[in-house]
Amino acid sequence: MKSKAKEQAGSGAAFTLIELLAVMAIISLVAALVVSMAKYAAQTRIKTRVEADKRGKVAMIDSYYAKFGYYPPDNGLLAAAPFAARDGLAATNQLLYELTGVTNTNNSANLIVYDINGYTNVSAADFGAVFNRGGVANADAVEPHDFYQPGPAPKDCAPYFSNGKEVIYGLAVPAELVPGNTNNFWHYDSSSTNRRNMGSYDVWAEFKVGAQIFTNGNW
């Protein structure tokens, strides 16, 4: 009788251990699912934010076209650029200044533009060095045509560099391409023979979520 009781107690203990292992396996599975869902939710939030930002840029560019009958100029080298150079040149564009406009053209050495600093002077030489353009097409000394309402906030912009200085700004994607580097710019192409929308323009963002790179464009 004692031997049988011990045998039953041993069986019960073994069954409890199996139960414990099963519970631990279920907890691990649930934890893995939670982590996976959290990653998916974070990815969805970032992609949704970029999509909303792109829609805003498209609306402003289309308003610009409705006003002037042409799309904002892009980097001056894009029209003749080979495909391999397109991405880098498209990321260096003056969309910020075309969409907010130059408010004074009396001084050929400087452009009075609106950016995150409010109205400020930008050297025409620096503008040309960065964007390969002589100036902003949306220029009116009396009445600027500002399609960017409300005005650009610091989070909307990132600095370009000329001769090692932060001299001018571009439109920033609300997501990083390189972790820790917020200088990720919207790409814009309205002149190259390599663009997807040959009758209009391409505007797109490249950004990274985890180990994966995404592209969001108007095509």
67 or 164: which leads in pLDDT: 67
pLDDT tens string 88-136: 999 999 999 999 987 655 566 777 776 767 777 888 888 899 999 988 8
Residue 194 pLDDT greater than 90, yes or no: yes
Q: What percent of the chain has pLDDT over 90?
A: 48
CB 136 within 8 A of CB 94: yes
- Residues 172-187: what's their mean pLDDT? 93
Residue 10 pLDDT greater than 60, yes or no: no
Distance, in Å, from the CA atom of 203 to the CA atom of 65, rounded to the nearest integer, reads: 14
The confidence score (pLDDT) of residue 106 equals: 55
Q: What percent of the chain has pLDDT over 70?
A: 85
CA torsion 34-205-213-78 (nearest 10°) is 180
Which residues, in sequence order, are CB contacts of 53 under 8 Å at separation 6+?
173, 174, 205
- Cα 6 to Cα 2, 10, 12, 13: the distances in Å are 6, 6, 10, 11
52 or 163: which leads in pLDDT: 52
Distance, in Å, from the CA atom of 135 to the CA atom of 112, rounded to the nearest integer, reads: 11
pTM for the predicted model, two decimal places: 0.79
Least confident of 61-70, 104-113, 191-200: 104-113
Q: How buried is residue 62: exposed, middle or buried, by Cβ count under 10 Å (0-12/13-18/19+)?
A: middle
